[in-house]
A and B are shown apart, each in its own frame.
Chain A
Amino acid sequence: MNAALAVIVAVAALAIGLALRARRGHDMDLEQWSVGGRGFGAIFVFLLMAGEIYSTFTFLGGAGFAYGSGGAAYYILGYGTLAYVLSYYLLPAVWRFATPRRLVSQADVFTSAYDSRALGVLVSVVAVAAMIPYLALQLKGLGIIVSQTSYGAISSTAAIWIGAVALSLYVAAAGIRGSAWSAAIKDILTLSVVLFIGIYLPLHYFGSFGEMFHRVEEAKPGFTALKGDQLTPVWFSSTVLLTALGFYMWPHTFGSALAAKNEDVFRRNAAFMPLYQLLIVFVFFVGFAALLQVPKLDNSDLALLSVAKDAFPQWFVGVIGSAGVLCALVPGSMLLIASATTVAKNIVRGVNPGMSDGATSRLSKLMVPAIALAGVAFVFAGGQTLVTLLLLGYALVTQLFPSLVMGLAAPGRVSKQGAMAGIVAGVGMVAAMSFAGATPETASTVDTFIGGLPSFLGQLNLAIVALLVNVLVTVAVSAFTRGSAGVPSGRFRRDVPAAEHAIVER
C-alpha cells in the first residue's frame, strides 16, 4: 500500500471509530436514529448542515466542472447562497409546522399538511428517486479518490465497490450523531486542504491568480465567463434558481431542519452560511490550474486529484484524498439513512399503516445495503460526470417545492389531488427528458428539444420548465378539486394547543 492510500485508510477508520464511540449510550429507537432527538444546538446544527452541503460534488465535481466548462461552474456559488436566503423564511415555517406535531420526516410534513397519506408516499418515492443519483455521485467520487490515490493499483470498478462497502459500514456504525462528529473533522480538514491547494497551486505554477486566469483566457477566450453556446447566462440563472429552490427539498436537508432546537437557529445560520460558500472559489482555482497544467484528461472529474498528484508528494495526496473521502462519507451517510428510513417508514409503512415500530426500524436498517447497491448500479449504468448526476437529482427533487410552499403558506388553497398531479407532471417531464438523453453539459436546455426559439427561452434549464408545468397543473387541478375531500382538515391550519408544545419542549 502506498503512502497516499495508507493515510486515507487511517482517516476512514478514524471516522468509523468516532461514529461507533459517539453512538454508545444512546438508545436507537427510530426517532432518535433519524433525527437524533431534537436536542441539537446552533453549532451542532451548523456543522451538520455544513457536513451535508459539502459533499464530493463540491470537492471533485466543482473542480471538474470548472475544468470542463469554465464559467458555468460559478452556478455552484450562486445556488447555495440564494438557498440560505430562502431558508431564512422556509425553514422556520417548516419547523413551526412539524415540531408540535412531532413529525420526523419530509413525508410526514406533506402527509400532515394535505391530510393525505397517498401524497406522503408519492413524495417519498420522488425523494428516493432523486437521492439515488445523488448517492451515486458520492460513490463515484469515492471510487475516483480510491483509484486515483492507489496510482493505478485499484481499478475504478473495484474502488466503487470498496466505496459502497465503506459507506454502508459507516452508516451501520453511525446513525445521525456519528455524522455530526465526523462532520466537524471533515469541515476542518476540507477547509484547510481546499484553502491550501486553492492558493498554493495557482501561485506555484503561475505566480498569481490573475496570471492564471489570463493564461486560461489566452488559451480559451471567454472560458472564465459564460460565453459558450449552451451554458449561457440564461442557463446559469435558471439553473441557480432551480437548485436553490430544491436545496432543502432533500429528505436529509429537510430532516436536519427538523432536528433543530428552535427556529431561530435557521435565521442566524442564514447570515453566516453564505460565507461558507466562499470555499468553493478556491475549488474553482484548482480546476483552472488543472486545466493549464494537466489538460486533455478523459474525465474532467479527475482534475483536482490529477493536478494534486502532479504537484505534491504521495502522503499529501493522501491527505487531500482523505478530505475527499470524508466529503463522501458524511453526506453519503445522511443520504443513505434518509433514503433507508424513507423507504421503510414512508413508503412501505405508508402503504401498510399497521406495521410496528420494530419491524419498520429493522426494515430501514436492511434497506441501507440495498440502497447502496442501487447507487452502485446507477454508477455503472452510465458515464455521467458528477455535475450531471447532481443536476438530475435536483431536477427531480425540486418538483416537491411548489406543493410544500403552497401547502404551508396557503393551507386549503391547493388540494391533495392538485399537489399530486403537479408533482407527477413535473417529475414525468424530467424523467422523459432524461430518457431522451439530456445531460447538463451537452443538452440540458430547451432548444435541444424545440428548435427555433428565441435564445432566452431556448437556453433555459429544462427542469425549470418542468417546474412551471408542475405549478400550472397543481393550480389547475386544485381549481377543480377544491372543496371536495382534498381540503386539509382544519386542525392542521390552526396553531397547536399550548399543551402539545409543552410535551415537545420537555
Chain B
Amino acid sequence: MKLTHALSALPFLGILGGIFFANNAEPYVLGLPFALFWVTLWVVLTALIMAIVYRLDHR
C-alpha cells in the first residue's frame, strides 16, 4: 500500500471508527462535548493530511 493511500485512510478510521470510543459528553475540550470535539478535530486533521498527500503526490 502506498504511503499516500494509508494516509488517506486515516480520516475514515478516525471518524467512522473513532466515534465508538469518543461517544461521550465528557471530558469537555475547548468548551465542546468530547464527541463534537473529536469529529471537529478530524475535520482539521483531514485537511492537514490531504495537504501532505498532495505534497507527496507532487514531489
Contact = CB atoms under 8 A, between A and B. Distances in A.
A71 B43 contact: no
Given A77-B39, A77-B40, A225-B24, A209 B46 contact: no
A226 B40 contact: no
A497 to B, nearest CB: 26
Contacts of A2: none
A222 B20 contact: no
Given A84-B46, A275-B47, A213 B32 contact: yes
Indicate the size class of the contact surface on chain B: 20 to 34
Interface string A260-286: 000000011011111101100100100
A236 B25 contact: no
A284 B17 CA distance: 22
Contact of A74 (B35, B44, B54, B57): B35
A274 B50 contact: yes
Given A85-B12, A88-B50, A210 B28 contact: yes
A213 B16 CA distance: 24
A270 B50 contact: yes
Contacts of B35: 71, 74, 224-226
Contact of B25 (A213, A233, A237): A213
A281 to B, nearest CB: 6
A209 B31 contact: yes
Contacts of B53: 88, 270-271
A273 B53 CA distance: 14
A306 to B, nearest CB: 22
Interface in B9-24: 11-12, 15-17, 19-20, 23-24
Given A74-B35, A82-B12, A209-B31, A278 B19 contact: no
Contacts of B11: 81-82, 85
Nearest to A267: B54
A208 B33 contact: no
Contacts of B25: 213, 217, 221-225
A270 B11 CA distance: 13
B50 A84 contact: yes
A271 B54 contact: yes
A71 B44 CA distance: 19
B43 A275 contact: yes
Given A81-B43, A222-B25, A233-B19, A268 B12 contact: no
Contacts of B24: 225
Interface in A442-479: none
Contacts of B44: 274-275, 278
28 contacts: A71-B33, A71-B36, A74-B36, A77-B40, A81-B15, A81-B46, A82-B16, A88-B54, A208-B31, A209-B31, A210-B31, A224-B33, A225-B34, A233-B19, A237-B20, A240-B16, A241-B16, A267-B54, A270-B54, A271-B51, A271-B53, A272-B47, A273-B47, A274-B50, A277-B43, A278-B43, A281-B32, A281-B40
Interface of A: 71, 74, 77-78, 81-82, 84-85, 88-89, 208-210, 213-214, 217, 221-227, 233, 236-237, 240-241, 267-268, 270-275, 277-278, 281, 284
Closest 9 CB pairs of A and B: A209-B31, A210-B31, A224-B33, A271-B51, A225-B35, A274-B47, A271-B50, A237-B16, A274-B46
